Amino acid sequence: MSSLCSSLIDDPLQSSLLDRVTRKRCRVSSMGSGSTNVTLQEHVISRDERADILGKYPGFRGCTIWFTGLSGAGKTTISFALERALNKMGVPCYGLDGDNVRHGLCKNLGFSKMDRSENIRRVAEVAKLFADMGIVTLASFISPFNEDREGARDIHTKEGLNFIEVYVSTPLEVCESRDPKKLYKKARAGEITGFTGIDSAYEPPEKPELVIDTGKETPAESVRRVLEYLRDISIIPDEAIKIYNQPEIRELFANDNERQSLIEQIPAMPRIDIGLVDLQWLQVLSEGWATPLYGFMRERQYLQSLHFGQLLDLKKKVVFAGEHDDGCRDEWVMDSPVNQSIPIVLPITDLQKTSIMEGAKEVASSIALFYNDSPVAVLSEGEVFPHRKEERVARQFGFTDPRHPTIGLILASGEWCLGGDVLERVRYNDGLDEFRKTPTELRKAIEDKGADAAFVFQLRNPIHNGHALLMQDTRQKLLANHRNPVLLLHPLGGWTKDDDVPLGVRIRQHAAVIDAKVLDPDWTILSIFPSPMLYAGPTEVQWHARARIAAGVQTYIVGRDPAGIQHPDTKDFLYEPTHGAKAHKMIFFDESRKEDFDFISGTRMRTLARTGQLPPDGFLVPAAWQILADYYKSLNST
């Protein structure tokens, strides 16, 4: 079966998930260190060896950034902000300044020129050791004399370490006007002598690596300039800065200018009419629920999802040796794989495929997606690839029977998939749009409630008091470690099978439960999860949990047979209900509480309502039950 044109993985670790996600760790050891007794090595560890276990990015980046300038110039302000930024990026750094040196290492030094020189020398020697360790060392000292600063530089350069002199050039009058510690005042009053700028000279650096005038730029701008300088001399990777500046949620909405020009261009574009389920996926994508996906999956992401259940990268195509690598054009930076157990693709038919092809191979550069005769998105850099529906269904559902509602839909869909980038927010104008909050909006809403934790309840059935009890219980559990856990009551709002309760009814029922304070409005947010239902069991549970992370939720509650369905023949659970819990690390809702509840499945609840019976006492607040009963009466009457 193996043929001449063969492939070669450069380091299977690299290509296997194992390492893609533990690159740095694996440098320590991929499967344990293996040494069962210590082997002596009579030399210190190399900088590279140390760098391997330091910080988020591999590689040695030890250096010293030396801030010099008058008292009050803003050295420490910028240095602290820079320290915070670097730390957030995962770049180990440490600040040396008067505070942690003058009271310790240099406490036996005064402010004579000689003592000042010795002070700077000692600081420089310590900074050198930190830099040698691989730390980005931030030293902020007035260090008024060129000779001393040059000495500090020499101490580093002769050890092959970067020394970056940053002159904070704030003019004396500005510093004196700030005078936080009233030192200038005292100096002017003669209470302090030898004070730099007053009765002691400040020698500006002759060739500083950077000059910062805090009068001309904000500290944030200064920090950004230092970061860019550090990137330019390869102290910090470009990746780090990009991730640092990247929002957490990737929304795919066009900004106003883009939207305007797109609307003008749409008439000239080939058009694909999409169905409701496609529209719902479009919403999922454009609102950032599947961050960092930037559109309907391309084949590369489709295969990663089917074979790894993850997004490993965002490249737009696979690149073969000899080909020009333009597979990396997506600008979003991923620093680790993201769970993506389900594919999000746009199936198209042969006919649709033909309609968007320019010649035999080229796909039109822009394609307009229409729903109900109005444009909902523009898809750019389209890619067409085989859907391979049978293989997809088997891998995604572990089951291939077309009587499964979602499998039926997929097998009936097009033979091809259209991948590409999308834009625009989806609206339904069904009176429920107010409940359709994007991940970004939900993060805001959770923040507005003053939450220090958020938990979500995933459901696609009416709530009863058992659910409510579960949510209250979860909040209690979380209150052990959190001040104010907020509940995201997050009914699934996309396509569901016909006999499920319609979204509108469910939302009114949920609202009634909240009005009745069964769920406290103070800590409950009701919003719609736009995803269509898959009935894919544990595979879908991964998606439901992962998507909620986008909304800033840390705790996920789900039914015992999550996303489950009956087997069309046996009527048993299609997926073993406990598998989700067994495969994942789940803590089960306290089983000892079971006897507190009458076991009523969504199915039984629907039957009760359909047949006009009343539920057991305490099952549901009357107002909320009425909404269900009315709905089913309306069905029967038709």
Scan residues 50-79 and list those touching its own copies (CB under 8 A).
Answer: 50, 53-56, 77
Residue 47 Cα to chain centre, angstroms? 32
Q: Which two tokens stand for residue 109?
A: 């030094």
Residues 29-48 that bind its own copies (CB under 8 A): 29-45
The one among 379, 459, 487, 528 contacting its own copies by CB under 8 A: 459
Name which of 81 and 279 has its Cβ closer to its own copies: 81
Question: CB of 203: closest distance to its own copies in angstroms?
Answer: 23
Would you put residue 16 in left (φ > 0), alpha (ψ -120 to 50) or beta?
beta
Residue at token pair 């990746």: 239
How far apart are alpha carbons 252 and 377 in whole angstroms? 10
Name which of 348 and 545 has its Cβ closer to its own copies: 545
The one among 69, 92, 343, 532 contacting its own copies by CB under 8 A: 92
- Our finding on whether 320 is near its own copies (CB under 8 A) is yes
How far apart are alpha carbons 223 and 81 in whole angstroms? 7
Question: CB of 415: closest distance to its own copies in angstroms?
Answer: 14
The one among 322, 324, 431, 638 contacting its own copies by CB under 8 A: 322
Question: CB of 51: closest distance to its own copies in angstroms?
Answer: 10
The one among 60, 132, 236, 531 contacting its own copies by CB under 8 A: 132
Site string for its own copies, 157-196 (x = CB under 8 A): ----------------------------------------
- Our finding on whether 247 is near its own copies (CB under 8 A) is yes
One-letter amino acid at 270 equals: P
Range in contact with its own copies (rule: CB under 8 A) among 89-97, 258-266, 273-281, 368-376: 89-97
The one among 404, 437, 467, 490 contacting its own copies by CB under 8 A: 467
Name which of 14 and 177 has its Cβ closer to its own copies: 14
How far apart are alpha carbons 362 and 489 in whole angstroms? 45
Question: CB of 335: closest distance to its own copies in angstroms?
Answer: 7
Name which of 221 and 434 has its Cβ closer to its own copies: 221
Question: CB of 318: closest distance to its own copies in angstroms?
Answer: 4
- Our finding on whether 558 is near its own copies (CB under 8 A) is yes
Question: CB of 95: closest distance to its own copies in angstroms?
Answer: 6
Count of residues engaged in binding its own copies, rule: CB under 8 A: 176
What 3-state class would DSSP assign to 333? coil
| Residue 451: exposure state from Cβ atoms within 10 A (0-12, 13-18, ≥19) | buried
- Our finding on whether 386 is near its own copies (CB under 8 A) is yes
CB 75 within 8 A of CB 140: yes
Name which of 50 and 353 has its Cβ closer to its own copies: 50
- Our finding on whether 201 is near its own copies (CB under 8 A) is no
Output the DSSP codes for 344-360. Answer: ---EE-HHHHHHHEETT
Output the DSSP codes for 284-311. Answer: HHHTTTTTT--EEPPHHHHHHHHHHSEE
Range in contact with its own copies (rule: CB under 8 A) among 98-106, 189-197, 278-286, 417-425: 98-106
The contacts of residue 458 (CB under 8 Å, 6+ apart) are 490, 492, 529, 544, 548, 556, 557, 558, 559, 562
Residues 215-234 that bind its own copies (CB under 8 A): 219-220, 223-224
Question: CB of 499: closest distance to its own copies in angstroms?
Answer: 11
The one among 60, 195, 296, 397 contacting its own copies by CB under 8 A: 397
Site string for its own copies, 406-445 (x = CB under 8 A): ----------------------------------------
Please report which helix (H) or strand (E) contains residue 168, including its range. strand 162-168
Residues 334-353 that bind its own copies (CB under 8 A): 335-339, 341
How far apart are alpha carbons 421 and 377 in whole angstroms? 9
Burial 538-556 (b: 16+ CB within 10 A, else e): bbbbbbbbbbbbbbbbebb
Question: CB of 381: closest distance to its own copies in angstroms?
Answer: 17
Site string for its own copies, 572-611 (x = CB under 8 A): ---xx-xxxxxxxxxxxxxxx-x--x-xxxxx--------
Residue at token pair 């391997």: 52
Query: Angle, nearest 10°, between helix axes 75-89 and 238-245?
Result: 100
- Our finding on whether 395 is near its own copies (CB under 8 A) is yes
CB 307 within 8 A of CB 299: no
The one among 176, 278, 383, 561 contacting its own copies by CB under 8 A: 561
Range in contact with its own copies (rule: CB under 8 A) among 84-92, 200-208, 517-525, 629-637: 84-92
How far apart are alpha carbons 313 and 329 in whole angstroms? 11
Around 37, how many Cα atoms within 13 Å sit in the side-chain half-sphere? 0
Residues 11-30 that bind its own copies (CB under 8 A): 11-18, 20-22, 25, 28-30
Question: CB of 273: closest distance to its own copies in angstroms?
Answer: 28
The one among 3, 255, 374, 613 contacting its own copies by CB under 8 A: 3
Question: CB of 153: closest distance to its own copies in angstroms?
Answer: 14
Would you put residue 492 in left (φ > 0), alpha (ψ -120 to 50) or beta?
beta
- Our finding on whether 276 is near its own copies (CB under 8 A) is no
- Our finding on whether 151 is near its own copies (CB under 8 A) is no
CB 178 within 8 A of CB 77: no
- Our finding on whether 499 is near its own copies (CB under 8 A) is no
Residues 101-130 that bind its own copies (CB under 8 A): 104-105, 108, 118, 122, 125-126, 128-130
The one among 58, 59, 90, 171 contacting its own copies by CB under 8 A: 90
Name which of 147 and 390 has its Cβ closer to its own copies: 390
CA-nearest of 589, 312, 318 to 469 is 589
Question: CB of 1: closest distance to its own copies in angstroms?
Answer: 5
CB 230 within 8 A of CB 210: no
The one among 58, 59, 80, 408 contacting its own copies by CB under 8 A: 80
Q: Which two tokens stand for residue 600?
A: 């009523």
Q: Which two tokens stand for residue 190?
A: 């003669």
Alpha carbon dihedral 287, 289, 291, 297, in 10-degree steps, equals -90
Residues 516-555 that bind its own copies (CB under 8 A): 538-539, 542, 545-546, 548-550, 553-555
Question: CB of 271: closest distance to its own copies in angstroms?
Answer: 29
Residue at token pair 């004396």: 172
Burial 587-619 (b: 16+ CB within 10 A, else e): eeeeeeeeeeeeebebeebbebbbeeeebeeeb
